[in-house]
Amino acid sequence: MTKPIILTGDRPTGKLHIGHYVGSLCNRVLLQNEGKHELFVFLADQQALTDHAKDPQTIVESIGNVTLDYLAAGLDPEKVTIFIQSQIPELSELSMYYMNLVSLGRLERNPTVKAEISQKGFGESIPTGFLVYPISQAADITAFKANYVPVGNDQKPMIEQTREIVRSFNHTYSTDVLVEPEGIYPENEAAGRLPGLDGNAKMSKSLNNGIYLADDADTLRKKVMSMYTDPNHIRVEDPGQIEGNMVFHYLDVFGRPEEAAEIAEMKEHYQRGGLGDVKTKRYLLEILERELGPIRERRLEFAKDMGEVYRILQEGSERAREVASQTLSEVKSAMGINYFK
Ligand code: TRP
């Protein structure tokens, strides 16, 4: 029996932070260890280039960094195919055929792409490659005949677009080569998105409010000690607020079930007054260090041999390419353009 296929990817635009870890990496490692699925995880460097064309260095550097983050978090290249998008030319070729099945108007209506266009300030100069990235994402997904795609809620329009392309392709060419994928989304927004140290809804590099898997112990300590709590909790005796207090938010996310009672007690104490921020932060630091310390150690270990890291990527890319080229061949046959077969 063949296992259902799961595929997911990240744009390599910087090191991964602990929001990525709780939001997706952890789950990938669980899925990997369950062993019930075939897993593909990849670095979407071509997609990252659609808005970094003039700054490829950031993307290039991030390939190594994100792969180190993957390995440190526990992804095992023996169990998961880890690959780089740009090394699979079949994906670009598939995109060419899919582009003919999608109207410009359909692309312009994609709400995530729309939001990104205004955030990035493209104005009237939207790079064509950027506008069509949902089509290339459909190629990523369908090349591997993925059944499930675990992604954030912002990726729903991409999955919907992919499903439309699959239906359109299969219908147009009277075939069933392409598989309609299903998205797997975080159960709630809180689980899917960890806020920043400053309380901003999003942890991101540009806001400089993140904790990275690569951060050393001292950096972690400084960041925790600077976290946003309750600005009105001035003296220890003052009653404090839990809502919007990042220390308690992170405790809820990173505390273990056996710590829940202790955390609940701390919350009451804090609200009553008499519990200082330094104490709550020290407690959080202990918990974070326990969770992140081993990841940091593994990351340092892998980083000693970047040659090996790139070998992992190369082998993964070779394996991925075999799968994608089989699908491409089926696609071309369905269209009748496999002339020399
Ligand atoms: N768009 C995704 C993101 O920004 C990255 C991505 C590219 C992806 N291709 C994919 C995710 C295919 C899942 C499947 O996070």
Each residue of 83-98: pLDDT tens digit?
999 999 999 999 999 9
Q: What is the pTM of this model?
A: 0.95
Whole-number mean pLDDT of the chain?
A: 95
Indicate whether residue 44 lines ligand 1 (CB < 6 A).
yes
Residue 31's domain comprises: 5-194+306-335
In a domain, 205, yes or no: no
Please report, for the domain that includes residue 54, its CATH number.
3.40.50.620
Place 341 in a pLDDT band, splitting at 50, 70 and 90: confident
Q: Is the pLDDT of residue 191 over 70?
A: no
Distance in angstroms (rounded) separating the CA atoms of residues 259 and 151: 29
Tokens of 150: 């675990």
Per-residue confidence (pLDDT) for residue 42, from 0 to 100: 98
Place 124 in a pLDDT band, splitting at 50, 70 and 90: confident
The burial of 278, by beta-carbon neighbours within 10 Å (0-12 exposed, 13-18 middle, 19 or more buried), is given as exposed
Place 188 in a pLDDT band, splitting at 50, 70 and 90: low
| pLDDT mean over 211-222 | 97
The beta strand positions in the chain, using DSSP E, are 5-10, 38-43, 80-84, 148-150, 182-184
In a domain, 326, yes or no: yes
Q: What tens digit of pLDDT does each residue of 42-101 get?
A: 999 999 999 999 999 999 999 999 999 999 999 999 999 999 999 999 999 999 999 999
Place 316 in a pLDDT band, splitting at 50, 70 and 90: very high
- Residues 278, 320, single domain; the answer is no
Q: How many domains does the chain fold into?
A: 2
Tell me how far the alpha carbon of residue 314 lies from the centroid of ligand 1, in angstroms.
Answer: 20
| pLDDT mean over 296-315 | 98
- Who's near 324: CB < 8 A, 6+ residues apart? 88, 90, 91, 94, 143, 144
Q: How far is CA 254 from the centre of its chain?
A: 19
In a domain, 57, yes or no: yes
Tokens of 158: 């991409």
- Residues 72, 158, single domain; the answer is yes
230: helix, strand or coil: coil
CB 159 within 8 A of CB 149: yes
Strands 38-43 and 80-84, bridge-based pairing: parallel
Per-residue confidence (pLDDT) for residue 189, from 0 to 100: 63
Q: What's the residue count for the chain?
A: 341
Indicate whether residue 10 lines ligand 1 (CB < 6 A).
yes
Q: What tens digit of pLDDT does each residue of 278-291 get?
A: 999 999 999 999 99
| pLDDT mean over 244-272 | 95
Residue owning the nearest CA to atom 13 of ligand 1: 8
| pLDDT mean over 141-147 | 98
Residue owning the nearest CA to atom 6 of ligand 1: 9
Distances (CA, A) of 167 to 8, 143, 222, 314: 21, 15, 51, 33
In a domain, 199, yes or no: no
